[in-house]
Structure 1
C-alpha cells in the first residue's frame, strides 16, 4: 500500500468535501479507474480515498465546471501526477477547508490545551494572590484596631493612676 502513512477517507466524506452526491463520486471513481487511475480499497473492497485522490477529484470537478468534456477531463486527470511533493503541500484554492493529519490535529489540540491550562493557571494564581492580599489586609486592620484599643486602655489606666495619685494628700504619698 503506497498510502500506508496517510489518513484515508470514505466516499461519504469525499462527496461532502467536493459538494457532490455519493452516486456522482462513485461514477467518477469508476470512470477514473477505467481510464487507468488506481484507487486503493480496503479488505471489504470499499474505495479508500487519500489526499492524492481528493486532488484528482477536485481537478476533475474543476475541469467539468469549465465545460471540458467528461472524457477529456478524465484523461487530463489520469495523466497528471497527483503524488508530486509540491502538490501535497499546496492547499486547494477552491475550498476554505483545511485538512490536517491525525498527528497534526493532536499536536494542535495539545498546544491549544497547554495554552488554555497556562492561562487558567495564571488566572487562578492572580485570584489566589488577590484573595490572600485581601485576607492579610483584613488581618492587619483587625490587629491595628486591637493594638489601638489596647493602647487606649493603657493610656486610660495610666491617666486614672495619675489622677488618683494627684488626689492623694502629700503625707499619704510620703507614707504609702
Structure 2
C-alpha cells in the first residue's frame, strides 16, 4: 500500500485474521514476525500492536500456500511473498496518516466477517463429514480384507482336506489292489 490509502479501509485484529486463515493467533504472530524480518511492513498502532489490512490477509494466505510445499521453509516462503508483493509494502510512515477505524461500528464489515465465519464453519462441518465417510470406508475395506483373508484360509483348508481325502482314497485303493493281488496269488497257488 502506498500513501494514497483511503480512510475507509478496514483494519482487522489478529483474532479475526487467525479465524479467517484458520490458524492459531500464535502462528499468526510467528508468520507476521517472519514476514517483517523479510522486509514486509504491517500497520502498527501507538502501542505497537499490528493491524491487518486486506492486502496483509492476502499476503499471509499466500505465505501459507507457499509454505505448504514440502521443500519450502518458512523463511524461504516469507522471502518469496515479499518479493512478489514488491512495491506494495507499506512503510510505517505510510500508515501514520490512516485514521483509526471503528470495526465495531461498521455493520457491513461485521456482516461480511460473520458470513465468512459461517462459511468456515460450514466448510469445517463438510470436512468432518468427509473425514467420517473416509473413516467408514477405511473400516469397510479393512473388514473386507479380513473377510477375504478368512475366505482364503477356508479355501486353503478345504483344498488341504480334499488332498488328504484323495490321498487316503489312493492309499485305500492301493491297499485293496495289493490285497487282491495277494489274494489272487494265493488262490492261484492253493486253488489248483
Q: 1:74 to 1:56 in 2, by over 3 A?
A: farther
Matched with 1:150 is: 172
Q: Which one of 9, 21, 29 corresponds to residue 15 of structure 1?
A: 29
Asked if the contact 2:42–2:50 (Cα under 8 Å) also holds between the matched residues in 1, the reply is no
SS at match of 2:89: coil
| Alignment: residue pair count | 137
Q: 1:160 to 1:116 in 2, by over 3 A?
A: same
CA RMSD of aligned residues (A): 5.0
Q: 1:156 to 1:134 in 2, by over 3 A?
A: same
Q: 1:15 to 1:163 in 2, by over 3 A?
A: same
Matched with 1:109 is: 131
The separation in 2 between residues aligned to 1:122 and 1:58, in whole angstroms, is 46
Q: Which runs of 5+ in 1 are unaligned?
A: 1-5, 33-52, 92-97, 171-176
TM-score for the superposition, normalised by structure 1: 0.51
Q: Which runs of 5+ in 2 are unaligned?
A: 1-18, 34-40, 63-84
Q: Which one of 90, 98, 116 corresponds to residue 88 of structure 1?
A: 116
